[in-house]
Amino acid sequence: MAKNYYETLGVDKSSSKEDIKKAYKKLARKYHPDVSQEDNAEQKFKEINEAAAVLLDDQKKQQYDTYGTAGGPQGFSGGGQGFDPRDFGINIDDIFESFGFGGFGGFGGGSSRGRQRKDTSIQEQVEISLEDVYYGVEKEINITVDEICSECSGKGAKNSKDVQTCSTCNGSGYIIETQRSILGAIRTQRTCPKCGGEGEQISNPCSKCGGEGTQREKKSVTIKIPKGIESGVTLKIKGKGNYDRQTSDYGDLYLRVFVKKHKKYDVEGSDLYTTFDINFVQAILGDEVELKHFDKTLGIKIPQGTQSGTVLRLKGKGLPLFNYNSNGDFYVKINVEIPSKTTKEQKEILMNYAKTLKDKSLIDRLKGLFR
């Protein structure tokens, strides 16, 4: 029975070539064996390749529409072998970028070109105080980076004529290898073994850097840390990483910031928490107290009858919000202190107060204790 390639791709005879490409890409995302969870993925992928190989080729499509096969009366026996979507203007990166691949080995390693770039970023960390979070701060940190070689100015060789394009990869930094499989011709990309991905070979390397074009150096950099930053946040500082002679540019510094625990405050996001002690007279009668808070003194009103454990909220008196022009809140937990010792006069005053409670059993017990 003749295969219905239009049905395989979910299109009809009137579909344009662009419609066929879109249908193919949609199915390729679903059935490629390296990413699909379908039980019949391998067979389905083979079928959609075979269908696309025919319907995207004008000559084969004409034969298929005329004879019901793509190889004239004798039939089509290609089975999609060697089918490369890029031959028909299909961008493979568009198909597989949602899976996190920069290209796909099953189709020849993607469309990236040019020399391989090394990772020029560096990672460091710094510890700051809560006061630094409140005000913002500039920190000087010591780092070790690849700096441009002072001897060869980053060329890797004393003379530019000593730098030649790699003859194995023609300057691309990688080589393509082709293997046959049941899915067709599978082309994979790997780093050029001759130049190590550089795309160049140096016949007379610089004596100072050995052809690397860089030297390891220790230096200090001053980093501005914005106010309101939270512990664990990583800042990206452009141009403070390693030098790359291939791009003649510097990578980035990724600085992770940690905030030291404070002896007075607990922190949750941009909100602050602390405990404030008052005596039981202040708790009963109420009071207005002052609390030293970073660069200011806050007045706090203690309501009459405040219970120990009461939390007072001071809106907008917390830490600055990172990248916002506002502050979190400041929560003050009240602790009512009970004196461990009292004078005779204080005891008499408390007894007189107890008498006003009209609790005879309490008065009798207190009299017994005082005797």
- Confidence category of residue 78, pLDDT binned at 50, 70, 90: very low
Q: Which residues contact 274 (CB under 8 A, 6 or more apart)?
A: 264, 265, 266, 330, 331, 332, 333
Q: What is the DSSP letter of 181?
A: E
Residue 302: its H or E element: strand 296-302
Identify the pLDDT of residue 290.
Answer: 95
Residues in the chain: 371
Who wins on pLDDT, 76 or 57?
Answer: 57
Q: Which residues contact 88 (CB under 8 A, 6 or more apart)?
A: 17, 21, 52, 56, 57
> pTM of this prediction?
0.58
Assign domain 266-337 one CATH number from 1.10.10.10, 2.60.260.20, 3.30.200.20, 3.40.50.620: 2.60.260.20
DSSP, collapsed to helix, strand or coil, labels residue 214 as strand
Assign domain 122-259 one CATH number from 2.10.230.10, 2.30.30.40, 3.40.50.300, 1.25.40.10: 2.10.230.10
pLDDT single digits (tens) 152-164: 888 888 787 888 8
- Beta strand extents in 93-242 (DSSP E only): 122-128, 137-148, 163-165, 174-181, 184-191, 200-202, 214-225, 234-237
Look at domain 5-107 and name its CATH class.
Answer: mainly alpha
Domain ranges of the chain: 5-107, 122-259, 266-337, 344-371
Residue whose structure tokens are 């609390």:
291
Who wins on pLDDT, 235 or 32?
Answer: 235
Query: How far is Cα 223 from Cα 164, in angstroms, rounded to an integer?
Result: 40
For 269-298, b/e burial (b = at least 16 CB within 10 A) is ebbbbeeeebeeebbeeebeeeeebeeeee
Share of the chain above pLDDT 70, in %: 82
Count other Cβ atoms within 10 Å, centred on residue 254.
16
